[in-house]
Homo-oligomer: A and B are copies of this chain.
């Protein structure tokens, strides 16, 4: 085979597409112009984003659904900086991604030009594999290594810095990345030990599932073990991707509020953790525990992050003799359509009532989404993508990538499954990366954006009290309040060409949601909802949460007792 040489940019793109990475989320500048020019004679789809945080979040959403790395193209250290928060979310989610960061020409760096900065240092927080490509000849090999690192367990973000002269130089050689799957499973002795715990202490054992085992094969396996042994199934607080709905096993998510999570985990003597971390509080609070595993509970990790989690879980199924056990799957059961004045719970109810089969939910509804898991548990099968790293401004960008990956399949049109995306986003969250709406329009994506607009940073009203910051006056409260200058998301959407409407009743929301799902292209619904927890004392929280169905009432009772003065 003759080796075709190209400029660096062409060799780079060819190496990416050789590995099946055919989508790149971009915000290019001068140093990336050769990459841009090389797009035309390539199989790469370049999705322009007007802000880098949109590009990185979209790449994250893409990779979660496509189950292969996405690529980004960003401009120098500042472009990477703008994308950092959503790269943090992707890192915490262990999402595979390849960042291509254009840099000044190597010989230009000595001059400390205005945009000069230390890109490797910026990348260090989100990437453990970082390389500045030193020569055009090296581009193909370097990007192949970047792809391999991103792909293999533990999946991660690799960052290749591409100096402009390396990109425009001639002599690039495209390479082939090794994409062989991970097959290393947990040691037989460990599986035996954990199966013994399950078989002897099953009802006092909880299994906490994370990341890769939250897809169908993992859930089915976990359910078989649960049915055989009586062990309780939990899911990590913010799953990367959770397959759920009718026909799949139901797992209870650990609550965001540590007070509630502690109650969920109380009484278990063994905690088996599969492909996630030991549960800890999201933040620290004065006088409260950060580590949420009960003091007398033994922790067992089934796999290390470099092992095959699903394969190990399936080995555990065999070890407990559950191979022939029927998993317990959720029956199909949708809620009725809501009616009356709209609130956040009714939004969740309508989503449960109307979401189509194979929908993807990008969930950044914060306080407004508490009832979503309950109302969608028996809805048609769907995926939920959540705020894995806690850095808000992820929900809209993730929806972009998910919509592209979900409708980008190969095969004939008849074989293709249409995947509608519903992004549930709080008003405060939406504003971090509102430029996402433009890319949804520019790419004509089937995304329904629901803004749960309570005109506040509602979650911070709770947090202000949780941290014990007493006596907040008007200056403090104004830091959490968006109501003095209310945001009209319909106008914002129209500013970027997107059809949009404001709704204040459940009936209007039902109609708007059904229409948005039915009609092609993106839509936005500005759902005006009350701030449910405004002025709420923390001690009343369990009652409220119980009343809206988030937690079963025994948990509410326990919480009430725990939180009593």
Contacts and interface: CB of A to CB of B under 8 A. Distances in A.
A431 B494 contact: no
B492 A495 contact: yes
A464 B33 contact: yes
Interface string A12-52: 00000000000000101111011011011110001010110
A118 interface: yes
A82 interface: yes
Contacts of A37: 464, 469-472, 476
A487 interface: yes
Given A473-B40, A488-B494, A431 B438 contact: yes
A475 B41 CA distance: 9
A50 B432 contact: yes
11 contacts: A28-B479, A29-B460, A33-B467, A50-B428, A51-B393, A111-B281, A121-B121, A168-B468, A434-B434, A487-B495, A489-B495
Contacts of A223: none
A389 to B, nearest CB: 5
Contact of A78 (B39, B389, B470): B389
| Closest 6 pairs between A and B when the two form their complex, measured CB to CB | A81-B84, A40-B473, A37-B469, A492-B495, A105-B284, A491-B495
B31 A474 contact: no
A414 interface: no
Given A81-B88, A494-B491, A495-B495, A281 B484 contact: no
Contacts of A298: none
A112 to B, nearest CB: 7
A127 B225 CA distance: 52
A248 B260 CA distance: 66
A378 to B, nearest CB: 29
B46 A479 contact: yes
A286 interface: yes
Contacts of A175: none
B469 A34 contact: yes
A50 B432 CA distance: 7
Contact of A496 (B81, B471, B487): B487
Given A85-B82, A168-B286, A485-B442, A475 B77 contact: no
Contact of A122 (B122, B486, B487): B122
Interface string A430-469: 0110110010011000000000000000001001101111
A256 to B, nearest CB: 10
Nearest to A106: B284
Contacts of A438: 431, 485, 487
A104 interface: yes
Interface string A264-284: 000000000000011011111
B82 A442 contact: no
A126 to B, nearest CB: 8
Contact of A118 (B124, B281, B390, B464): B124
Given A46-B475, A495-B487, A282 B113 contact: yes
A168 B88 CA distance: 27
